[in-house]
Amino acid sequence: MQFRIHNEGWVYFVISCLITIIIIPFYTVLGILLCILSAYIFYFFRDPIRSIPKDDVIVSPADGLVTFIGNKKNPLKDSLDDNNYTKISIFLSVFDVHVNRMPLDASIQSINYIPGKFFNATLDKSSNDNERNIIYAKKNGESFFIVQIAGLIARRIVCNLKNNQEVIKGDRIGIIKFGSRVDLYLPQNYNILISKGQKVVGGETIISNPNNIQNIKSSILK
C-alpha cells in the first residue's frame, strides 16, 4: 500500500528529526523519546490513498467516530436559509488520519472561518463554540455544509479550497492538526446509511444517498 505524508507535516517531521539527531549523542534516553515523537508525527500526518466510490453517494469527509446524528439548522448564523438539515458529527482522535476529503461533487459557494474556543471535540457544543471553518457547497441547487472544527489539542485548521471552486468527491480539502471534529450537514431528502458509534473512513465510507436512489453498487474494497 502506498504511504505518504501530508505537506503540512513535513516541517514538524524535519524539525523533530533534526533535534533528535542533535540530542541523542548527549542524552540517549531523551533522544529515544524524540525519535518516538518523530515517528508519531510522521504517523499523524499520513495521507493514505483512498478508493473513492463512483456512485452518486455521499462519502465521509473524515476518518473517525460518529458521535452525533440529528436534525439541525445550517451552521451559518447569518444565513436566510431556515431549512432543517441532517447533521453528522465525526470525532477524530490523535490516532486517526486527519486529512479531510470532499464528501461529494460540488461547487464551493463560500468559506467562512470563525475564531473560537477549544473545547473537547467530542462535546456537541464544540460545533458552536470552538474555532471552526464552515465550507458551504452546492450541488444541483441543494446546499451542503462541511465544518472543520478545532478540538482540545488542535490549534490550526488548514483549508485548501477557494470560493467558486469545482471539487470532486474524495478530493483532499484540508487538514486539522492534532485531534478535531468534522460536521457534515445534508439536505433531509438524503438517506443516512451509518449510525452513531460507527467508525468511518474519509473518502471511502458511504454515509448517505438521495432518497431517489434505489440501488448502490459500490466500487469500494474494504
List the beta bridge partners of residue 167. 106
Query: Is the distance from CB of 132 to CB of 146 less than 8 angstroms?
Result: no
The C-alpha angle 30, 34, 38, rounded to 5 degrees, equals 170
Active site residue 180: yes
Query: Is the distance from CB of 129 to CB of 115 less than 8 angstroms?
Result: no
Round to whole Å and give the CA distance between 86 and 73: 8
CA gyration radius for the chain?
18
Which three three-digit cell numbers place residue 7? 505537506
Closest residue by Cα to residue 150 from 184, 127, 124, 174: 127
Closest residue by Cα to residue 157 from 143, 146, 145: 146
The C-alpha angle 187, 183, 84, rounded to 5 degrees, equals 30
Round to whole Å and give the CA distance between 151 and 91: 9
Q: Which of 16, 127, 143, 180 is catalytic?
A: 180
Round to whole Å and give the CA distance between 31 and 24: 4
The alpha helices in the chain, defined as continuous H runs, are: 10-23, 28-44, 126-129
**Positions marked catalytic:** 180
